[in-house]
Structure 1
Amino acid sequence: MIFKTSQAMIMLCAVTGLGMSLGQTASAAERAQIEALYGTTISSEVSGRIDRIGYREGESFKKGATLISIDCTSYAAERDRVAAKLASAQAKRDNQEKLAQLQSAGKLEVELARLNVNESAAELKAARANVARCSINAPFAGRVDTLQASLGQSIKPQDELMTIVGETLNARVIVPANWLSWLKKDDVVNLSVSETGTSVSGHVVRIGAAVDPVSHTIPIWARLDKTADLRPGMTARAEFPGAPNNAGSPKQQPGTAKPAPPAS
């Protein structure tokens, strides 16, 4: 009877140790949040009327694509006016320089003519910049998240027109701080996406700068390889195949359950 009891205890310890090992291996996984690497609010830099909206909510675009166009008639006219002013200033400068060679113009007249050219050139640069601002181009490839602008709407500088998110996605994972003993950049991460049921792989690209002193956790970010069906805000289960068996607990190593007491 004593033998059977001791045998049962030993079997229980073995099962317990195995359970810890399995549990700790499986615990090298945490919840992940899908985030866009880039995201911004598009605002106007000039006043005017919107005459074209290139992309609507949910639509994708390439880097450099025109998101919104503003009627540029007045800015183009100002550019042409300043260009003509510059041409006139250059002609006057050239004339003053020729007169100076003939000693018919003083140094002051020549210097003033040159300054007028510089001033007009600066004005033309600003006018051309305003014309360029009539077309709001995408700073990166991505999708339109929200659209606040309307066709024909009159806008002013700093008015928010749309928000966009980039197509490059990261997974943000909060992991136990003791994982830093083995978790490194470029480690593989396998994600099971909750919303789509699909799997996607990635690799660690960043590790947080500080550990939370209360929860003893730290954020890490993984760059995802394929993101066609993913959207920012989705959640996933992130598994780290390179984790050691004892990754889940720094206190208890696998198979170290107390042995059964000796039979009396």
Structure 2
Amino acid sequence: MKKSIKWISIIAIVGIFIYFISPTLFGSKKSDEGQNALPASSFAAKIPVSAVVVKTKKVDDKINITGSITPNESVELKSEISGKIERIYFKEGSTVKKGDLLVSINDDELVAQLEKLQHQQKLLTESEYRQNQLLAKEAISQEEYDIALTELKSGEADLKLVQAQLAKTKIRAPFSGTIGLRYISEGSYITPNQPIAYLFSNNPAKIDFSIPGKYSSRVKVNDQIRFITDALKDFRTGKIYAIEPQVDPNTRTLKMRAVSPNKDQVLLPGQFARIELVFNSFDNAIMIPTEAVIPELGGHKVYLMKAGKAETQKVEIGLRTESEVEVIGGLTPQDTLITSGVLQLRPGADVSVTLTN
């Protein structure tokens, strides 16, 4: 009996202990669950995106092409006759003027022939004069006078021929410019096939380039270009002055040539040029990043951020650049345009926007 009472007491004490500590254990657990619980709406996470505020700016409708610098005038100096070089009058890399004597070739034989013909010409002139006097007195026939006159004219022609050959022994600058490196020396024998030097006139400089044939109707003489070379720090301007009258059937391009002042001689023939050809300019164009535009059946669309949500907007596009597209309809300045994450968006989706420039 005593044993039963003892066990009943122990069970009662344990029950009382459990009763007092159970609210603390279960209450704490419920409290933790309550603290960790989130509103059901928080499970719909916002999509992080980047956006820009739509603005207007000046835009050029242009194409970028490449070309090369060519001289205003250039010539490979050569001799028209063979002979021994007597003297060289120019220095390599120097500036010469039109008509300056550059090289002289030995002309002793031609000078001797000229003197001989000059003496003969004097005799033929006197002979023709006497024959003319006799013809006037009818002392000789017309045929005899004609023979004397023909000999005189023939002598004059021989004299001019030697004078022309003599002039070829003196090589002169055909135009003003800068002469390059020489390939001859005094005392050497020169032939018509051997180059003497190159002569360049680089002011103004010319720029040769080609554009796709589809732009042929948009280009005309006197249009301006902008170009730069590796030797320049800033862009320079030029003016188109000649256009090839046909499209190259092999490349389907149209060749043209522009001219630009080159007083400082920085532009040298053979330099590579990067060229901008501007067709038109727009002062208030809306340009948006290419990645913001989504093509769809029958047009294009973009996503705008309105009241924290993504909404679609149909747009009409115009000209394109390397990284931007012109919008000619559908957007207005100050619209917030979503530029990244557009493929993940759906109309009405909640977005978290980071504005960029």
| Category of TM-score, reference length = shorter chain | 0.7 to 0.9
TM-score (norm 1): 0.79
Q: CA deviation at 1:129?
A: 0.9
1:156 counterpart letter in structure 2: T
Aligned residue for 2:290? none
Match for residue 237 of structure 2 among 201, 212, 217:
201
Residue 193 of structure 2 is aligned to residue 175 of structure 1:
no
User: Mapping of 1:5-20 within 5 angstroms?
Assistant: none
TM-score, length-scaled by structure 2: 0.60
Query: Does residue 272 of structure 2 align to residue 235 of structure 1?
Result: yes
SS at match of 1:210: strand
Deviations 1:59-98, CA, capped at 9 Å, x for gaps: 2222222222222232222212111111110111111122
For residues 203-234 of structure 1, what are the alpha-carbon distances to aligned partners after superposition, in whole Å with 9 as ceiling and x for unaligned? 01112233245654322211112242221011
Partner-residue secondary structure (3-state), 1:223: strand
Q: Quick one: which amino acid aligns to residue 102 of structure 1?
A: K
Taking the aligned partners of 2:93 and 2:278, their CA distance within structure 1 comes to 34
Q: 1:229 to 1:54 in 2, by over 3 A?
A: farther
- Contact 2:229-2:274 within 8 A present in 1 as well: yes
Cα RMSD (Å) of the superposition?
3.6
**2:210 corresponds to which letter in structure 1?**
I
What's the CA shift string for 1:99-157, capped at 9, x where partnerless? 22333322222111101100000011111111211211122222224422211112234
SS at match of 2:327: coil
Q: Secondary structure at the residue paired with 2:67? A: strand
Q: Given residue 219 of structure 2, which amino acid in structure 1 is its aligned partner?
A: L
- Structure scoring higher RCO (CA < 8 A, sep ≥ 6) equals 1
2:29 is matched with none
Per-residue Cα deviation, 1:184-218 (whole angstroms, up to 9, x for no partner): 21112222221243543220111223324565432
Work out which of the residue numbers 46, 63, 77 in structure 2 matches 1:28: 63
Are 1:161 and 2:196 an aligned pair? Answer: yes
Is the CA contact (8 Å cut-off) linking 1:65 and 1:138 kept in structure 2? yes
Q: Could you tell me which of 76, 84, 108 is aligned with 2:119?
A: 84
Structure-to-structure mapping, 1:94-173, within 5 angstroms = 94-167=129-202, 168-173=204-209
Correspondence 1:220 to 2:256: yes
Q: State the match for 2:105 in structure 1.
A: 70
Instruction: Report deviation, 1:27.
Output: 5.5
Aligned-residue offset at 1:242: 5.0
Specify every segment of 5 or more residues in structure 1 that has no aligned partner in the other structure, as ranges.
none
Give yes or no for contact 2:60–2:278 (8 Å, CA) kept in 1: no
Contact persistence 1:28–1:247 (CA under 8 A): no
User: For residues 6-43 of structure 1, what are the alpha-carbon distances to aligned partners after superposition, in whole Å with 9 as ceiling and x for unaligned?
Assistant: x969x58x88x99xx99x84863322210123222222
1:254 aligns with 2:290: no
Listed as ranges, the matches of 1:42-53 within 5 Å are 42-53=77-88
Aligned positions, number:
254
Alpha-carbon distance in 2 for matches of 1:248, 1:141: 46
Within the alignment, does 1:263 sit opposite 2:347 as a pair?
yes
* Matches of 2:229 and 2:138, distance apart in 1: 82
CA distance in 2, matches of 1:247, 1:218: 22
AA aligned opposite 2:275: A
Q: 1: CA distance between counterparts of 2:129 and 2:168?
A: 33
Unaligned runs of 5+ in 2: 1-40, 283-317, 332-341, 349-357
1:231 is aligned with what amino acid?
Answer: L
- Structure 1's 57 and 210: CA in aligned 2 closer, same or farther, altered over 3 A? farther
